[in-house]
Amino acid sequence: MNVPLYEKLWMWASGVLIVAFLTTVAIGVASSALQPPSHVETIDPAKVWTDPRFTARGVTVDSAGVTVVAVAIMFAFNPAELRVPAHRPIKFRLTSADVTHGFQIVGTNANTMVVPGYVSEFTTSFDRPGEYLIVCNEYCGLSHHVMSGKLIVEEARP
Ligand code: CUA
Q: Measured on CA atoms in the order 110, 68, 154, 89, is the torsion positive or negative?
A: negative
Q: Are residues 23 and 76 in the same domain?
A: no
- The binding-site residues of ligand 1, defined as CB within 6 angstroms of any ligand atom, are 72, 75, 101, 136, 138-140, 144, 147
Residue 64 pLDDT > 90: no
Query: Max Cα separation, the chain?
Result: 79
Q: Cis omega (within 30 of 0) on the bond before 79? A: yes
Domain that holds residue 22: 1-34
CA of 4 from ligand 1 middle (Å) equals: 50
Q: Are residues 64 and 135 in the same domain?
A: yes
Q: Are residues 86 and 148 in the same domain?
A: yes
Q: Considering its fold, how many domains does the chain have in total? A: 2
Q: Which DSSP category does 107 fall into? A: T
Q: Are residues 77 and 136 in the same domain?
A: yes
Q: Measured on CA atoms in the order 27, 30, 35, 41, is the torsion positive or negative?
A: negative
Is this structure's pTM higher than 0.85?
Answer: no
pLDDT at residue number 156: 75
pLDDT bucket at 108, cuts 50 / 70 / 90: very high
Cα–Cα distance, 24 to 143 (Å, whole number): 34
Nearest-CA residue for atom 1 of ligand 1: 101
Query: Can you tell me which atom of ligand 1 is nearest the CA of 137?
Result: 2
